[in-house]
Amino acid sequence: MSNISSSTNSNSDTLLPLEKSLPYTFHNKTLLNIACRHSSLKSSQDFGPNNERLEFLGDSVLGLIIAEILYNKHPESSEGDLSNYKRNLVDSEILNKLGQKLQLEQFIIMSEGAEKEGGRENPEMIADTLEAIIGAIFLDSNYEVTKNIINHLWSEELSASTNSQKPDKNIIQEYCQKHVLSSPEYKIPDDRDDNLMFTCTLTIPNASQFSLPSTGTGKTKRLAEKNAANNFLETYPFIQSVIGDDSLPQNNQVISTKNPVSIVLEYTQKEKLLKPVYVEISRVGPPHQPLFTISLKVGSFPPITAVGGTIMEAKQNAAKQFLRENKDKINEKTK
């Protein structure tokens, strides 16, 4: 009895709908067939090679092409921004999403054991298969053809690339580095629950201000970690305001080399408003790792609340937040 799942076979005609969806017609049909062969077949030599080598190649080709597209599309973006855009675009969650659009789960050739364990719904299996297909297209054609296919498949994601935010795990890591805290720990037992889901527990050791651990679940360990990080930021939302971004108003009359506190002060002086009022609302955490909460009031603008590891840092974060939230009004008055 064959140990290959009977729902998909290696007949090249079976893969014609996949070629139409890509859209790409293979000259060497064997390459596409191999790209769809999951590694669960590797224990048996009777069924030919699996897609692991093509997945390795496709991962590198995809990374290079996405990097080139972003480099040309965003000439003003920094290396750090481009890295964030790329990281989001080649994330396994995006690959799984695009693979589902292509209905790759119908074409993956796997062992019966992998099939019974829910392989066709496994997001990592779908993501890996898409990478293998990209590797196969590259070998069957050339760089430019492969880039055209990726531009087509990733069109929506590339259009929204500049709106992509830093991954939650990166935000938490940056916060810990900025405040000299221990690195976040993501603990995942090897065993899955009855629903075949992994559970991840996220903690920051020796940080009393984060006494509540955060948990997240997912069909893969990576997804469980991602959900744990997302839940952590929902529990401690001030982390994002501390990390923030540097998107101050773009009008040259408002931007300067001065820190945000000085910019806000100069704005109130120019508009003949009362000086900005910074009030310390609270201080939490141990003496060596305090966390201050500051309230900022500027004229008739709504008050702003921000946090920081020092009073000055909290003031700067409050000023940054004020400038971000009111940049249109400020720019209009400073024209």
Catalytic residues: 59, 131
Q: Which two tokens stand for residue 315?
A: 């003031």
For 253-272, letters b (16+ CB in 10 Å) and e give: ebeeeeebbebbbebeeeee
Beta-carbon contacts of 306 under 8 Å, excluding residues fewer than 6 positions away, are 238, 241, 242, 293, 294, 296, 314, 317, 318, 320, 321
Question: What's the rounded Cα separation, in Å, for the pair 36 and 52?
Answer: 10
Residue from 221, 219, 202 nearest 211 by CA: 202
Residue from 319, 96, 138, 34 nearest 222 by CA: 96
Question: What's the rounded Cα separation, in Å, for the pair 38 and 6?
Answer: 14
Question: What's the rounded Cα separation, in Å, for the pair 335 and 54?
Answer: 56
Burial class (CB in 10 A: 0-12, 13-18, 19+), 250: exposed
